[in-house]
Amino acid sequence: MKGMRYIAALLVVAGASSPTAVQAAAPEYPIRPLRYIVAFPPGGASDIVARIMADGLTEVLGQQVVVDNRAGASGTIGAEIAAHATPDGYTIFACNIASLAVSPALYRKLGYDAGRDFTPIGMVGSNPNALSVNPSLPSTIAQFIELAKSRPGKLNYASAGVGTSPQLSMELFKLGAGLNIVHVPYRGIPQALVDLMANQVQAMFSTVPSVLSAARAGQVHVLGVTSKARFPDLPDVPTIAESGLPGFEVISWQGLCTPTGVPKAIRARIEAVLSKALALPETRKRLAEQGFQPTPLAAAKYGDFISAERVKWSKVVKDLKIPLR
């Protein structure tokens, strides 16, 4: 009898150790809230989009997705934190043009490798940048260029930081128009926008979502957008290209990545949840209200897109002769 009990116990242990039993015993993902790292401060485009998406992801996933702002150094601080997070699927990253395309071209040394340390999950969307000025300045690009040329080195422009797409947009604009405007970098767009409205700085490029509310309230004037075609939410605002700088185009984009090493099954789950969250009517409505255009790309195509953007912006940085940091 004791022998039979011993054999039965061995069978139980063996059964529990089998792959099927272990899989059945393993908890389903996710069993706790997710951290959504945003490398810029509250109020900017990255933060606005992340908070909308966090709500959508929470609804679809059934677990809370919490936005964690880790701003500084043009998005590289937050990117480094995300890159070195435990790859268990509980940290996702708002990867964008600044952290994965521009900064690798601009910094001699980063605390992360943009191509190695992140796995793309999917693109969320994109939008042009907008050239905004204090309302006391001229209301057209031609008049702004004329004013800036008459006062070389006297006008200041704000940006979300060195190496961000808004800053590079202005540098491209200055090069094309032959202007001398002084750069004043900020840790993010929100404080820069406050100073623009107060005329502490006279102009800035920013993503459309960051400035849309202020533009609608008449607190700033939007002179032009950096897309090929006019932006639907600003139909009366011309493109930079149609305003005297042919071929001018800069598009900011936002997406979702995980640290490299997250198990394939969990990555697939996050990608599926992202797709469903982007399809939610409430998510699409809120993104549209903020001037953000959903442009979903699946993981593989998003990865190819990011690689092409790194090549593109490396060339821009070299062509503009921007000193490496």
Q: Give the end of a domain, one of 243, 263, 293.
A: 243
Domain assignment of residue 24, yes or no: no
Q: Give the end of a domain, one of 213, 243, 273.
A: 243
Q: Which residue has the tokens 């949840």?
A: 273
pLDDT the model gives residue 232: 87
pLDDT tens sequence for the chain (325 residues): 444 343 333 333 333 334 343 333 346 899 999 999 999 999 888 999 999 999 999 999 999 999 999 998 889 999 999 999 999 999 999 999 989 999 999 898 999 999 999 999 999 998 899 999 999 999 999 999 999 999 999 999 999 887 788 888 999 999 999 999 999 999 888 899 999 999 999 999 998 888 989 999 999 999 999 999 999 889 999 999 999 999 999 988 999 999 999 999 999 999 999 999 999 999 999 998 887 888 899 999 999 999 999 998 898 888 888 877 8
Could you give the angle at the alpha carbon of 280 between the alpha carbons of 227 and 231, nearest 5°?
Answer: 15
DSSP string over 175-238: HHHT---EEEE-SSHHHHHHHHHTTSS-EEEEEHHHHHHHHHTTSSEEEEESSSS--TTSTTSP
Distance CA 325, CA 169 (A): 18
Domain assignment of residue 117, yes or no: yes
Domain assignment of residue 158, yes or no: yes
pLDDT the model gives residue 266: 97
For 31, phi then psi, to 5°, come to: -115, 0
- Judge if 92 and 134 occupy the same domain: no
- Judge if 139 and 219 occupy the same domain: yes
Distance CA 75, CA 159 (A): 13
Q: Which two tokens stand for residue 155?
A: 């006008």
Q: Is 39 exposed, middle or buried (0-12, 13-18, 19+ CB in 10 A)?
A: buried
Asked if 184 contacts 147 with a C-beta cutoff of 8 angstroms, the reply is no
- Judge if 76 and 170 occupy the same domain: no
Asked if 250 contacts 172 with a C-beta cutoff of 8 angstroms, the reply is yes
Asked if 157 contacts 183 with a C-beta cutoff of 8 angstroms, the reply is yes
Expressed as residue numbers, the domain containing 42 is 34-126+252-319
- Judge if 134 and 121 occupy the same domain: no
Domain assignment of residue 23, yes or no: no
User: Residue 141's domain is classified under what CATH number?
Assistant: 3.40.190.10
pLDDT the model gives residue 45: 84
pLDDT the model gives residue 104: 92
Domain assignment of residue 162, yes or no: yes
Alpha carbon distances (Å) from 324 to 21, 141, 317: 54, 30, 9
Domain assignment of residue 273, yes or no: yes
Q: Give the end of a domain, one of 243, 268, 295.
A: 243
Of the chain, the end-to-end C-alpha distance in Å amounts to 77
- Judge if 142 and 219 occupy the same domain: yes
Q: How many domains does the chain have?
A: 2
Distance CA 113, CA 97 (A): 14
Distance CA 16, CA 299 (A): 36
